[in-house]
Chain A
Amino acid sequence: MKAIRFSVNGKHYDITVPPHRTLLEVIREELGLTGTKEGCGVGECGACTVIMDGKTVNSCLVLAAEADGKEITTIEGLAQGDRLHPIQQAFIDHGGFQCGFCTPGMIMSAKALLDANPRPSEEEIRKGISGNFCRCTGYTKIIESIKAAAKNMEAKP
């Protein structure tokens, strides 16, 4: 067992975990934050994307022990109370989701992209979400949603 200390969505946790436990398992099962999804479990689909110290990671490929001392943001950490994050609102307004299973990971990738590059070109948006599969939308409305979010965030910083 290994003791780790990390923060998830601004909340600090001190927990002990078996060395083989993944960050995804800890987030979903220990912390009960089931918004982050497990699709493939081997880092190919992007459904489990979270932000760790500002960068997106596939949380199924990160051992919980590696998250020691890190700051993690999951989909549950984006809205402030009832106020949705502009990216979430844009996904609603532009229909950037269908079944919703890839959506938490997709929105986290979009957030990391816009945090690093507030005015991305369409090509940069496509690249920014190229680690996330979506089987429902064909990506068109996701790309539109991210473009709209960038615009709204620029207008209302």
Chain B
Amino acid sequence: MSDFAVIGERFPRVDAREKVTGEAKYAGDYSMPGMLWCKLLRSPYPHARILDIDASKALKLPGVKGVVTGKDFGGWSWGWMAATRDEVPLAVDKVRYMAEAVAGVAAIDEDTAEEATRLIKVDYEALPGVFDPEEAMKDGAPNVHDYVKNNISVEYHWNFGDVEKAFANSHIVREDRFRTSRATHGYLEPPATLAYYDPTGYITVWAAKQSPYFHYRHLAACFKMPLSKVRVVQPFIGGGFGGTKNDSLAGDFCAVLLSKITGKPVKYVESMEEELATSRRRHSMIVYSKMGVDKEGKITAIAHRVIADGGGYTAIGPLSMYLGGFMTGLPYHLPNFKYDAYRVFTNNPIGAAMRGHGVTHTRFAAEIQMEMIAEEMGLDPVEIRLRNAIDNPKKGKIYETINKVALKTCGIKEAIKEAAKDPLWRDKDKMPKREGDISWGVGLSGTSYSGGARQMGHQACAAIIRLCEDGTVNLITGATDCGQGSDTVLCMIAAEELGVRLDDISIKRVDTAYTPVDPGSYGSRVTILAGQATQKAARQVKKQLVEIAAREWQAKPEDVVIRLGEVSLKSDPTRKMPFIKLARIACYSGTGAVILGTGYSSYGIEHLDLVNGIGNGGTSYSFTAHTARVGVDMGTGQITVSDFTIASDCGRLLSPIPAEGQIEGGAVQGLGQTIYEDFIMDKGKTLNPTFLDYKMPLAMDVPNIKLIDIVTDDPDGPFGAKEASEGSIVSAPPAVVSAIHDATGIWFTELPITPEKIVRALRPKGQR
């Protein structure tokens, strides 16, 4: 029997009933009496000066109640760091990417608001644009922002060990260029908000934000309001995956300002076309990778020169570039490494965060390059990985990388061995290699991701636990469940710690007026950090209850056991009472106690060193070995992915159903960016801002997925938990690319690998 009463059980999610009945309300489902609708006017140019905006015709349209432009925000700007506050709610002097918002309208209905946007006259002076990050870095390229030179938005130069010496002494050194796709989150719920600026001086918004406290701070700063008067109420969130829903958008600011002007609630719902044309998507990165290995195939050094398309503004770019570098070697030993990273402004939409943030680019490059080297040396893909993989540190020991990233657990070797034992890999040579035009191949990857992401400034998650007199419990936290299942995990943690049943715990959506401040749901941090906070709050409640039970039974507190809603004495099993009775005793005896517990997380408080790349970016690290089987039609280039086997070291899975779903979902999103998804851009214009043309995987496209759980017990996570899901979005691309190589004999280095690219590559040289 497991030592746990609740943890590890296959409980359905706590939000299940609302979600399968349609009762769950999302931002777009809210409305208020007298509500107005907001629509935005967006720039038709990727780079242009704004000379004049004339809204007089729009204001005359019957039903229009207000128009706002950039100047109405009083020069306020925001950004991820103090030095990068380069973005304004609506463009003021200049637009820097196509479809950047320039004006907002409020009207009695959505159609009128949209019609009014077309009556606003903007005089633009078109400016030459720059759309390729390598072009943008050159002298003489058009300047996107005046505050930086050569459009360099972020640059880091790290150098650990001695790469030059290591390359000179290597058996093989390879240099290759890789490029990742222009992929986006692809959630089905477009950004939306309902805002009310109460004339008495409160802002309340119901907004689709996966990290509502970023938005809370932005609104307070923009509208010069005390934080205590900004209320972000969390509806259910229709998917996040980083980037857009972690930030504030033009529509958010306009809805609040238009509410202030009109005195009415204002609703804004972005169209999917607007969303796809402007989302704060994953950066597309070019990775120049140089890797050396010794005679045994052990990696001696990696030098990465990374150039990222940052688009028009900085957003979270400094973190993207840090994440792409700080764990460059993982999950392998890397004695020497150099990282030269450039995030470059262009007149494309903004590059920002997406699940697998940063790591997915550089690990893809390094993983494929290691495979290329293995092929050159005649080494088996499993063998080269096992020779380089980091051992699981003994309990109490730490493995430290050359830039002082500390691993306390590492299940990569076990994961690779388990994946290799699975029939998909083990029997790969017994499976047909060719069936008609279809050539089959199998590939392997071994990757890592960090969990419990650190943040500049505020880092801790918090929880409050409140005992009700009927023995039920309220769990209050500022951590947002944007679909990943964290509410279920946190309730399970509370139930486990308190000794009650999961059904006895109730959790509500975040509301900044009542819930404790929280950094946000990104970087796989909620289970680890809000989980630890919940654990601490629950322990406080339990301590009080145990003392009350001990008093009641005249026993020692350490003799009291509470498990699954039953209170008993270890020394005398005949002494027992239901939890509800203990709750009543606690709440009614004497004047009646009010039992509350609070806690905030303490993992990951060391400084996040963006500039030098030294130290940890998270609290712990997940490890994944991933095999994929693909069939490539050698005539048409069509790819069929039949199977994935994913062996994940996520520490301990606290709530298996959501965790498995996260791993499966991450892997399929990773598959999308590998073979389908890419924004086709023409001089800043997105040519495929629809789900018809931006192709995400459908049920017909996805492989059978088998999961293997590698359990490690990490000391820096509640009950030994680490991250789940970002690991599999990092592991999927190299596994699929290796499988395509196995099927075709061709190494593809630019994502996505479309049928066109395959057909072209299969043609004889000279005809490509």
Contact = CB atoms under 8 A, between A and B. Distances in A.
Contacts, number: 170
Nearest to B663: A138
Contact of A141 (B15, B240, B664, B698): B664
A98 B188 contact: no
A98 B272 contact: no
A143 interface: yes
Contacts of B29: 28, 34
Contact of B702 (A37, A38, A92, A140): A140
Interface string B177-220: 00000000111111000000000000000000000000000000
B699 A136 contact: no
Nearest to A87: B20
Nearest to B692: A44
**Residue from B188, B189, B237, B662 with most neighbouring chain A CB atoms (10 Å):** B188
B700 interface: yes
B333 to A, nearest CB: 32
Interface stretch (B49-57, B416-424, B478-486, B751-759): B478-486
Contacts of B484: 98, 136
A98 B488 CA distance: 11
Nearest to A122: B704
Interface residues of B, number: 58
Contact of A136 (B26, B483, B692, B705): B483
A59 interface: no
A39 B237 CA distance: 13
Contacts of A44: 690-692
B265 interface: no
B28 interface: yes
Nearest to A146: B699
Given A98-B665, A138-B702, A92 B22 contact: no
Nearest to A76: B22
A127 interface: yes
Contacts of A15: none
Contacts of B661: 95, 98, 136-138, 140-141
B16 interface: yes
B505 to A, nearest CB: 17
Given A37-B188, A40-B272, A100 B665 contact: no
Given A39-B189, A95-B657, A95-B660, A138 B238 contact: no
B26 A37 contact: yes
A127 B269 CA distance: 31
B690 A100 contact: no
A11 B541 CA distance: 49
Interface string A116-140: 0000000001110110111111111
Contacts of A88: 20-21
A98 B12 CA distance: 11
B188 A138 contact: no
Contacts of A141: 657, 660-661, 664
A8 B164 CA distance: 72
A65 interface: no
A92 B189 contact: no
Interface residues of A, number: 53
A67 interface: no
Contacts of B657: 94-95, 141
A41 B272 contact: yes
A127 B704 CA distance: 15
Contact of A100 (B24, B271, B696): B24
Given A35-B22, A133-B696, A138-B665, A99 B483 contact: yes
B18 A45 contact: no
A120 to B, nearest CB: 12
B429 interface: no
A109 B691 CA distance: 19
Given A98-B485, A100-B15, A36 B28 contact: no
Contacts of A137: 661, 664-665, 668
**Residue from B18, B273, B691 with most neighbouring chain A CB atoms (10 Å):** B691
Given A95-B657, A98-B485, A98-B661, A139 B22 contact: no
A129 B700 CA distance: 8
A139 B236 CA distance: 20
Interface string B635-666: 00000000000000000000001101110111
B21 A76 contact: yes
Interface string B94-107: 00000000000000
A142 interface: yes
A89 B20 CA distance: 8
A64 interface: no
Interface of B: 12-13, 15-26, 28-29, 185-190, 236-241, 269, 271-273, 482-485, 657-658, 660-662, 664-669, 690-692, 696-700, 702, 704-705
20 contacts: A37-B28, A37-B238, A40-B273, A41-B271, A75-B21, A84-B20, A91-B20, A99-B187, A99-B482, A100-B19, A100-B236, A126-B700, A130-B700, A132-B699, A133-B188, A133-B691, A135-B241, A138-B664, A141-B657, A141-B660
Interface of A: 28, 33-42, 44-45, 47, 74-76, 78-79, 84, 88-89, 91-95, 97-104, 107, 125-127, 129-130, 132-143
Given A37-B238, A74-B22, A76-B21, 11 more contacts: A41-B272, A44-B691, A88-B20, A95-B13, A99-B240, A127-B699, A127-B700, A134-B699, A135-B186, A135-B665, A142-B699
Closest 3 CB pairs of A and B: A35-B22, A99-B483, A101-B238
